Chain A
Amino acid sequence: MNRKKQPLALLVTRLSRRHRLVLFWWNLLRAAILTFGLTPVFLILSLFVALPVSVGAILGMLALMSFFYALFSALFSRPETVRLLLAADRRYKLHETLITAWELTRSGKHNPFAPVVLKEAEQAATRVQARTVFPARIPAPRLLAAAVALAVAALIGYNIFTATRAPAQGGIVNLGRNLSELGNRLAVQAEQHDDVSTMELARELERFGRQLTQDPANLASERERVKNLIPRLESQIKRIERGEAAGDRGTDKSKNAEEELADYLKNRLSDSSARRTVRRMSEQNRSTGEILQQLQEGDPTGEERPQTGDIAPDRKREILDGEMKRAEDSSELADNLERARDQLKKLRDGSGSDSPGDGSSPPEDGTPSKEQSPRIAEGDLGGGAQGDSKSPSEKTPDESQPQTSGIGSEPAPDGGDTREDPRQPEKSRLQELPKSQTTGDVIHLFVRELPDEATAALTPDEVAQRFERVRESAIHSDAIPPERRELVRNYFLAIGTGSESGTE
């Protein structure tokens, strides 16, 4: 017997075939584990993560490749001879006969016991009924198994591909639907709270979600948009959670004040005056909201806002202070308007200047001229509407001594003053208006002449403009009867600004 061929003949044994069969079925099992084990992973992943179609296809192909690898190993790979022989020796308790014979043949070294060992190995292999293990062609059962396995592999691959693609697009559609719904809800809430920035963001979310729902395959082109939306959303959420919707909250406060003031004015002042006031405050609030929105959305320079999305503390304090100041202004404006209304009521009722005994002393000098008072201090009338917001106690002694006369200042000629207003101007001489400057009924009108010395905060032109605005609003208010409005107008014209007096 040829020593070189004899160990190969030993391999052709039934035990070897069994060993290879075990390997074959184990490889098939491994392929099944790889394929059917990876598929649920893909499905679960696609539920939580919107897998792009390309990623799903790659994963599916990996599973398919692993299947083919295992299939190839099962069909064509040959187990390592040494391991096979050792396993056979151990399995049939051959005391390493086969492996020793193999080694003796492989080594090529002469050993007197080699024929003996080979003979023993041959006898051992004969005992286990040796048969062919490594045939030249694949047997029909294996070919059939391979064909079935290929068909199964193709089916599995197709299923993996479709299963990976469908959940991915379904996930995108669901995401778009959720985004759209969320954007709607958020917009409604933001609108209720007048949170302009959040509302705009919500609208953008809604639009984006609608686009995703309509065209889920277009997600790749919207990545930049998503990238920009996410930090804005996070920032907005943090801002709302911290209650830092400063601009919007300030807007709420101003709005409330505005509404109250509007109601108040509508009841007590003319519609036009109330409308103007409301419009003015609305403009003020809108501008404030826009500023805050710009600050919250990013720098005016267009640079991307940091992830924290916070406004700088100093700037925030400044904005809040401005809002508080505006609120105070609004309140003061209401007070001033109320005072104006009271004055107009007096004019309407004729209790202010019809009788000299109301405290208005007849004037002793002429009408005030700009030469006499290059700067006119603001007075009770109109001066507080848009002027200095300082409280009387905060005013300097000079400021708290208005040097112009107020309309209907109630000091009686005898010096009796029933009001305890600390801003009550210093008593000045009353001056009767010339009759030639008036038309209609003869009424003695007295105004206070300017004091001798004063320090003014407003220029005469500013005072004149305010005076004109207040005059028009007062004339057209409901508190003044229509038949008396001409009289009031004449009064105002009589005490008009320098320009008007100049023209008349």
Chain B
Amino acid sequence: MNDAVDLTTEQLEQETSRARDQLTQVRREIGKAIVGHEELVDEILVCLLSRGHALLEGVPGLGKTFLIRTVGQVLDLHTRRIQFTPDLMPADILGTNVLVTDNHGSQEIQFQKGPVFSQVILADEINRATPKTQSALLEAMQEQRVTIGGITYPLELPFMVLATQNPIEMEGTYPLPEAQMDRFFFKLRVRYPSREEMTDIVNRTTGTPPPQLERVMDAPAIMQLQQLVRALPVAQPVTDYVVRLIYATHPQEEASPEVTRTFVRYGASPRGAQSLILAGKVFALMAGRSHVSFEDIRRALFPALRHRIILNFHGEAEGMTTEAVVTEVAGHVKEE
């Protein structure tokens, strides 16, 4: 597929329409295996098409690993799972140089790729590894390449990390620093399934084998959609709205709401604004539109900003959540 810039109007219309259909089909195919979590699936797709990474937070047993594996299967992406433990070393993720002897008896140093060299990585319980190991993964996330022994190895694209962390077992963990949290495009909450969803899950997993999932898209199609997303136009009032939203999370701003000034220590970074705009574009594309609306921005507010707002001691003591702050900010900032 040609670059979106080179496409004609008709071709762009066709591409937009096809992207919408593909994404709809992806969601439908994932829905065959995953009960519920439609919103979560959409948000994962947004991360993928935005070239971002997601941090999933939820108690164990909610199907996070299965979800990621399903996504990789439907999108025909190579998926790896890394269980983070305190003794996990960076080389265990990135890979290492090993001495290899060939058939002729000659030896050479050969780079043995680690699990990071995959397209979709499930970093399970990322907060249980040491900060050193976490940093190794996060560098790969940001740069999409790995440098070992002075040699840089590009990662296979599209590259997406889905990290999970357990919010209830914090003992013996190494919480991610704020700077590294900011590198995640979205922070997604895996909610507990409802009664109906629970019934459906039980029926599907305890009976006959689940239906075989079809491959809907492949890596080149995903990368093309990533380009298409970047080309979607955003009106200046929408951009201004995003900027005002970000500034409204900063306590030192006069225009920020009272809850921000009271409970927030640090507001969202510029990465937050980028996430909002990119996510808005993907949401617009999912809706079959070729431009971003305020509604698209509002859909991305919580996953894009909840981990980029840092509460102060007063907020922590009062039991304030970042979601509550985002809600107040969204109500405070007007679209015009």
Which residue among B7, B12, B287, B293 has the maximum number of chain A CB atoms within 10 Å of its CB?
A: B293
What residue in chain B is nearest A98 (Cβ atoms)?
A: B235
**Interface size counted on chain A using CB atoms at 8 A:** 24
- Determine if A99 is an interface residue (Cβ-Cβ < 8 Å): yes
Q: Is the interface of A mostly helix, strand, loop or mixed?
A: helix
Residues of A within 8 Å of B4, CB to CB, are 112
Q: Is the Cβ of A100 less than 8 Å from the Cβ of B336?
A: no
Asked whether B238 lies within 8 Å of A104 as measured between CB atoms, the reply is no
How far is it, in angstroms, between the C-alpha of A82 and the C-alpha of B240 when the chains are bound? 13
Q: What's the Cα separation between A113 and B16 when bound, in Å?
A: 10
Chain A positions within 8 Å of B5 at CB level: 110, 112
Any A CB within 8 A of the CB of B176? no
Q: Give the residue name and chain of the A residue nearest to B293 (CB).
A: A95
Q: Is the CB of A99 within 8 A of B290?
A: no
A119, closest chain B residue (CB): B9
Interface residues on B, range: 20 to 34
B220 CB within 8 Å of chain A: no
Is B290 within 8 A of A95, CB to CB?
no
Query: In the complex, which residues of chain B have a beta carbon less than 8 angstroms from the beta carbon of A114?
Result: 233
In the assembled complex, which residues on chain A have CB atoms less than 8 Å from the CB atom of B218? none
Interface flag for A132 (CB, 8 Å):
no
In Å, the complex CA distance between A81 and B289 comes to 23
| B205 interface residue (CB < 8 Å to A) | no
Measured between beta carbons, the chain A residues less than 8 angstroms from B276 are: none
Counted as pairs of residues, one from A and one from B, with CB atoms less than 8 Å apart, the total is: 69
* A99/B237 in contact, CB under 8 A: yes
Whether, in the assembled complex, A144 has its beta carbon less than 8 Å from a beta carbon of chain B, the answer is: no
Contacts of B290 in A (CB 8 A): 113, 116-117, 120
Chain A residues, CB < 8 A from B235: 96, 99-100, 102-103
Cβ of B255 within 8 Å of any chain A Cβ, yes or no, is no
- Asked if B138 is at the interface of the complex by the 8 Å CB criterion, the answer is no
- Bound Cα distance A111, B231 (Å): 7
Complex contacts, A89 vs chain B, CB 8 Å: 293
Binding site for B on A (CB under 8 A): 82-83, 86, 89-90, 95-97, 99-100, 102-104, 107, 110-117, 119-120
Sort A-B residue pairs by CB-CB distance and give the 8 closest, nearest first: A95-B293, A115-B9, A100-B291, A100-B235, A96-B293, A116-B290, A103-B235, A113-B290
Residue ranges of B at the interface with A (Cβ–Cβ < 8 Å): 4-7, 9, 12-13, 16, 231-238, 284, 287, 289-295, 335-336
Known: A113-B231, A113-B233, A113-B291. 7 other contacts (CB 8 A): A95-B287, A99-B238, A112-B5, A112-B7, A117-B290, A117-B291, A120-B290
A-B contact pairs, 23 of them (CB 8 A): A82-B237, A86-B335, A86-B336, A89-B293, A90-B335, A95-B287, A96-B291, A96-B292, A97-B291, A100-B234, A100-B235, A100-B291, A103-B236, A111-B231, A111-B233, A112-B6, A112-B7, A112-B231, A113-B232, A116-B9, A119-B9, A120-B289, A120-B291
